[in-house]
Structure 1
Amino acid sequence: MDLQGRAVPSVDRLRVLLMLFHTMAQIMAEQEVENLSGLSTNPEKDIFVVRENGTTCLMAEFAAKFIVPYDVWASNYVDLITEQADIALTRGAEVKGRCGHSESELQVFWVDRAYALKMLFVKESHNTSKGPEATWRLSKVQFVYDSSEKTHFKDAVSAGKHTANSHHLSALVTPAGKSYECQAQQTISLASSDPQKMVTMILSAVHIQPFDIISDFVFSEEHKCPVDEREQLEETLPLILGLILGLVIVVTLAIYHVHHKMTANQVQIPRDRSQYKHMG
């Protein structure tokens, strides 16, 4: 009985040590992050890298802006007027992140943590007619903002921290093993804890890969968004049509030239029968 009694605390201590080790490992992984926004030629675009065990596991390049409605008192101090704050993700932001086999996360803080952005990515497998196929997507966005911050908010009523969350989000859907790229603007609606307020997140110049990065600091093959593919087609279609039209003209001229040459070499038969006696 004494041996069993002593064995139970030992098992409990082992479990506690394992939990602490797991927690410390996660903390260490979260600290392996870099803000490389200074390398971007676009002043509005940020670059974030998460690394585990010395290897890149998440890369994200994007420009982000948040349109936040908030209430202020009217001049009569009785009615409320809704104003709008445009909050851009600025350079020099603090960044955290973690990587997993099927779930990765990126967190960004700026303006002395008055603003915080959390993006959660998941990788899933689906059964299709071609067999199982894996994809990853942006499954959740959370934006925390402080309406008492004076740079973007002017005399907000009920000033303080609010949280805006996405609802049943499935964005940036990409085949596993590829990165997502989209230059066009994309909007995501977030429901705010500030009553009856919807925050709009605007993403642009996006290039993200939260899973399966093979080379350090290098994105895998790009999966372009439909808008970019359509714009690329609209740009190349006139060129293709122009080339086809030019080819048709060249072929037509060549046929005309050959036909004209062949016709010129043929013996001209007089239409007037009386001229036959002069032939031969």
Structure 2
Amino acid sequence: MDLRRRAIPSADRLRVFLMLFYTMAHIMAEQEVENLSGLSANPEKDIFVVRENGTTCLMAEFEARFIVPYDVWDSNYVDLITEQADIALTRGAEVNGRCGHNESELQVFWVDRAYALKMLFVKESHNTSKGPEATWRLSKVQFVYDSSEKTHFKDSVSAGKHTVNSHHLSALVTPAGKSYKCQAQQFISLASSDPQKTVTMILSEVHIQPFDIISDFIFSEDHKCPVDEQEQLEENLPLILGLTLGLIIVTLLAIYHVHHKMTANQVQIPKDRSEYKHMG
């Protein structure tokens, strides 16, 4: 048996190369990512879309800020003091992402990749008294920042790339098939190697759906966060109380009117016996 390696003809090599090229091109064409932040009337709000096979599979709208503590030298150049950088996710950011049946991911980069945000979403099934129910949640946040970037970090002692991560995160919990919507600010702590240097991520005006989008570029039914529901209840409470009080007053007046009418139609019996002779 001849075990010597046979050379692949050039025509076959070209055919293999073309097949690989078209396969890669097809895979790349299946997924698209778009930054639609320019469509928002809010200059601080970003809109990101991930599409696969020509259909939206992940949509995210939100404002994001990061409060990052960092060390600088005191005026005596002996002691260290802590400053705070307030970093906003700015428009024009580069976006990447992927969609899966039970796991989706959004990645955002800005200021020449000095900052990078990664958000991981998972969909899970749970057994409840009503039977199995599926929900999705934000399970992990990772933020990478470069403290040598001079716009937000001035005279940082530990200039360079730093990575912070969420710890046992379960946020934005939403029933499967719905989008999560919340106007209120939400705070997520991101831990670093230094316990004293915890980064705070602040999300607001959030509208996200990483799974089960039915219509292209359109969110499914909203699932409002508890804070927004509480605020809406507090806003509507005076109206509810006013309507309830008005209903009680109308009901009492109606009862009084009916009672007065029934009483007026009854024969009045004289209290003085002398008046009986006038009756008849």
Deviating beyond 4 angstroms after TM superposition, the runs of 4 or more aligned structure 1 residues are: 1-6, 16-30
Whole-Å separation in 2 of the counterparts to 1:82 and 1:48: 34
Whole-Å separation in 2 of the counterparts to 1:19 and 1:190: 41
How much does 1:226 deviate?
1.5
Q: Contact between 1:187 and 1:202, CA under 8 Å: does it hold in 2?
A: yes
Q: Secondary structure at the match of 2:206?
A: strand
Which one-letter code corresponds to 2:103 in the other structure? E
Whole-Å separation in 2 of the counterparts to 1:212 and 1:61: 16
Q: Secondary structure at the match of 1:267?
A: coil
Q: How does the TM-score come out when normalised to structure 2? A: 0.88
Whole-Å separation in 1 of the counterparts to 2:242 and 2:195: 56
Whole-Å separation in 2 of the counterparts to 1:54 and 1:245: 54
Report what 1:96 is aligned to.
96
Whole-Å separation in 1 of the counterparts to 2:23 and 2:99: 14
CA deviations over 1:129-164 (Å, ceiling 9, x no partner): 333322211111111111111111111112111111
Report what 1:254 is aligned to.
254
Q: How does the TM-score come out when normalised to structure 1? A: 0.88
Which region of structure 1 is more displaced relative to structure 2, 230-239 or 51-60?
230-239
Residue-pair matches, total: 272
For the aligned residue pairs, the C-alpha RMSD in angstroms reads 2.6
Report what 1:153 is aligned to.
153
Report what 2:133 is aligned to.
133
Change (3 A) 1:105 1:25: farther
Report what 1:223 is aligned to.
223
Which one-letter code corresponds to 1:122 in the other structure? V
How much does 1:245 deviate?
1.3
Report what 2:275 is aligned to.
275
In the alignment, structure 1 residue 189 sits paired with structure 2 residue 197: no
Change (3 A) 1:223 1:141: same
Q: Secondary structure at the match of 1:117?
A: strand
Structure 2's unaligned 5+ residue stretches are 7-12
Structure 1's unaligned 5+ residue stretches are 7-12
Change (3 A) 1:78 1:24: farther
What are the equivalent positions in structure 2 for 1:48-87 lying under 5 Å apart?
48-87=48-87
Report what 2:213 is aligned to.
213
Q: Secondary structure at the match of 2:191?
A: strand
Q: Contact between 1:162 and 1:194, CA under 8 Å: does it hold in 2?
A: no
Change (3 A) 1:2 1:24: farther
Change (3 A) 1:248 1:195: closer
How much does 1:233 deviate?
2.1
How much does 1:242 deviate?
1.8
Which region of structure 1 is more displaced relative to structure 2, 155-164 or 55-64?
155-164
Q: Secondary structure at the match of 1:158?
A: coil
How much does 1:239 deviate?
2.0
Report what 1:180 is aligned to.
180
Whole-Å separation in 1 of the counterparts to 2:59 and 2:186: 19
Q: Contact between 2:30 and 2:54, CA under 8 Å: does it hold in 1?
A: no
Whole-Å separation in 2 of the counterparts to 1:19 and 1:151: 44
Q: Contact between 1:26 and 1:98, CA under 8 Å: does it hold in 2?
A: no
How much does 1:2 deviate?
4.4
Q: Contact between 1:29 and 1:98, CA under 8 Å: does it hold in 2?
A: no
How much does 1:269 deviate?
2.5
Q: Secondary structure at the match of 1:258?
A: helix
Q: Secondary structure at the match of 1:216?
A: coil
Q: Contact between 2:61 and 2:208, CA under 8 Å: does it hold in 1?
A: yes
In the alignment, structure 1 residue 203 sits paired with structure 2 residue 203: yes
CA deviations over 1:111-139 (Å, ceiling 9, x no partner): 12111111111122233333332221111
How much does 1:71 deviate?
0.6
Which one-letter code corresponds to 1:174 in the other structure? T
How much does 1:227 deviate?
1.4
In the alignment, structure 1 residue 266 sits paired with structure 2 residue 271: no
Which region of structure 1 is more displaced relative to structure 2, 52-61 or 194-203?
194-203
Whole-Å separation in 2 of the counterparts to 1:278 and 1:124: 88
Which one-letter code corresponds to 2:53 in the other structure? N
Q: Contact between 2:190 and 2:200, CA under 8 Å: does it hold in 1?
A: yes
Q: Contact between 1:162 and 1:193, CA under 8 Å: does it hold in 2?
A: no
Change (3 A) 1:169 1:17: farther
Whole-Å separation in 1 of the counterparts to 2:159 and 2:86: 16
